Chain A
Amino acid sequence: MSNETSTIVVMGEREEIFPQEPAERQRVRPGRLALVTITLLTFAFLYVPIAILVVFSFNDARTGAVWQGFTLDWYARLFRNERLLDAALRSLIIATVSTAGSVVIGTMTALAMERFRFRSKTFWDGLLYMPVIVPEIVAGVSLLLFFATAGIERGFFTLVVSHIAFSMPFVYLTVRARLADFDLSIEEAAKDLGADEWVTFRRITLPLLMPGIVSGALLAFTLSVDDFIISFFVTGKGWDTLPIYIWSALKRGVTPEVNAVSAMLLLFSATLVVGSLILQRRRSY
């Protein structure tokens, strides 16, 4: 296999150098064919299930995997389902509050880590990446244990705190990336012109970090709305979020209604993540 791969690389290079050479073009290359196939399969594996889910959310049939015709009925039903709407509202509230928390804490931490010099900075920086690495199930269980030990009643508060815990590092990372190419002399120029620390932050630092902050916030919001595992552990009575509601609905069987909710959640997340990526790409003015 490795032999084959290296052949492909060589052939690829030659193609670059002699793009018009006819003999090269006509020869069949099994290695290349295999690669293309595998790539296509990967994409299919990733997106076909999602496509099916979306397609069947428009299927005019109560059950079954047979196409019966197009309908928007399931979407209409969603908006009449009180319990679902309540769950969605709870998810949005928790996402909003936890995102606000993540933005403030993440931005301040990023500023502190970038600006202050202290010992074993790399170590502390590494610790901040940890929540990105720790398996969600581990995080869920440990948070549950923590709240139980501390005697904190589960509900809104525990959900918000937990969501901040796992989404804050994403804000931290995007802001830190923005800070990395921040020219400090710009802040010096502001102070030189009479702006104190606060005005410098508000008029210079914050606007320049804004794309990073917003992009981090969009990620944090998406993660919060989408989160199931951790929320499942730390939620309390009356605080079932949308993913938890979907999960419990599934216990009664996969209905096209669940497909419709999932499709909407997907659209929502995709929009926010794409927005975040666009903002992150936008480097400077």
Chain B
Amino acid sequence: MLFTLSDVEVSALAPDLIRNDFAVELRDVVKLYGTMAAVDHVSMSIRHNEFFSLLGPSGCGKTTCLRMIAGFERPTSGQILIDSKIMGLTPPFQRNVNTVFQSYALFPHMTVEQNVAFGLEMKGISRAEIVRRVGEALSLVRLPHLAKRYPKQMSGGQQQRVALARALVNRPKVLLLDEPLGALDLKLRKEMQIELKTLQRDVGITFIYVTHDQEEALTMSDRIAVMSHGKALQIGSPLEIYERPACKFVADFIGETNFLEGRVIAINGEFATLSVATGHTFTGRRVNGLQVGEIATLSVRPEKMQLVEHPVDGAANTYEVTVFSIAYVGSDTRVIINLGDQRLDVWEQNSTSTLNPDDYFFKPGEKAWLTFKPENALVLAQ
């Protein structure tokens, strides 16, 4: 699937199927600590069985959002709905939601096994069934051999996996995961990502997933909310977030990009042309209804630009530049170029295999032509 329908589009297509049928909804939620808004008018609707990620820099309010959904914090204003029911003062133990805590929060006086069994015991499930499911959950997180250990006797990564097992074993409708793989090494992290994604899809659990790892968010999520300073700046599929960032912050935060600041000198349908400080003009996709004369920023990702020896006559966004440095990183070559006094990153894919460094025909100090299509760049409001 190359695009996802927005909520509005879906409800237009099938109104009774969709109305109020969300796993979790945040309606204009605000959380103040003193006068500081940890969460600032956030609205989001998370669908059933959706893998929904919260992505954003440290302190932007991700954990606070999860805590309000779980019922540990009360929103200062706004509403939270789980399964279309307004939560209000519903205590955590009456919400069909489980949390994987950022700090693990394992019970120190219980063994791994007892920790994982706790939720099932609370539900009054039979002993035999508990033993079976605990064993299953511990295998899933690759820890069946440590069942009798106490949390203090385990590494950070092992504790994190116990926290994961303790929540997963309950098969809740909604699982809130606060950086659940943060303490794991790369290999184990990849394995667990696959396990989680498979489980989420097969069992049909709604995941609300906090991560610092962009790649993790992009590969696993159905949709991502990018947050900054308590606000949800953009909610969309990984594709939308990466290819059509709604603002400078999102473009900058997700992946790499080049920014060129300038003034809008022309608008042509979907496109806007910008005159930048170096004296060059660039054209890109226009967003947020920009007007002529406004200050705006052109955002173009390094892999969406090319360096060529001979420019095509009359092509847009094509200028002579000087190569500043070259770095070979395996899959591609990362070139830094100078356009006037502006530095830009350009990534060229290494599509041919060669051992001779001179085969790459640009060397530092050489001239080259930079070119990119207007549809591959975005003009964002300031």
Contacts and interface: CB of A to CB of B under 8 A. Distances in A.
A285 B150 contact: yes
Interface string A264-285: 0000000000000000000011
B73 to A, nearest CB: 10
Contact of A192 (B99, B109, B151): B99
Interface in A192-224: 192-196, 199, 203-204, 207-208
Interface stretch (A46-54, A100-108, A182-190, A251-259): A182-190
A204 B114 CA distance: 12
Interface string A25-54: 000000000000000000000000000000
Interface stretch (B33-41, B90-98, B293-301): B90-98
Given A185-B103, A193-B98, A284 B108 contact: yes
Given A183-B105, A192-B70, A192-B93, A285 B99 contact: no
A193 B70 contact: no
B161 interface: no
Given A185-B103, A285-B152, A192 B108 contact: no
B255 to A, nearest CB: 33
Contacts of A284: 108, 152
A121 to B, nearest CB: 18
A191 interface: yes
A285 B150 CA distance: 8
Contacts of A183: 103, 105
Interface stretch (B44-52, B118-126, B229-237): B118-126
A192 B170 CA distance: 11
Given A285-B150, A285-B152, A195 B107 contact: no
A193 B118 CA distance: 7
B101 interface: yes
Interface string B199-227: 00000000000000000000000000000
Nearest to A188: B72
A218 B213 CA distance: 51
Interface in A166-194: 183, 185-186, 188-194
Given A183-B105, A188-B105, A193 B119 contact: yes
Contacts of B108: 186, 208, 284-285
B166 interface: yes
Contacts of A195: 93, 118, 122
Contacts of B166: 189, 193
Contacts of B170: 193-194
Interface residues of B, number: 26
Nearest to A194: B122
Contacts of A194: 93, 119, 122-123, 170
A interface majority secondary structure: helix
A196 B101 CA distance: 19
A195 B103 CA distance: 19
B367 to A, nearest CB: 59
Nearest to A195: B122
A185 B109 contact: no
Interface in B116-136: 118-119, 122-123
Contacts of A204: 107
A207 B98 CA distance: 23
A188 B152 contact: no
Given A195-B93, A196-B93, A189 B105 contact: yes
Contacts of A186: 105-108
Interface of B: 70-72, 91-93, 97-99, 101, 103, 105-109, 118-119, 122-123, 150-152, 166-167, 170
List of 6 A-B pairs having minimum Cβ-Cβ separation, nearest first: A194-B122, A193-B119, A189-B105, A185-B105, A191-B92, A191-B93
21 contacts: A183-B105, A185-B103, A185-B105, A186-B105, A186-B108, A188-B92, A189-B101, A189-B105, A191-B92, A192-B97, A193-B122, A194-B122, A194-B123, A195-B93, A204-B107, A207-B109, A208-B108, A284-B152, A285-B108, A285-B151, A285-B152
Given A189-B105, A195-B122, A285-B108, 5 more contacts: A188-B92, A188-B101, A193-B122, A199-B122, A285-B109
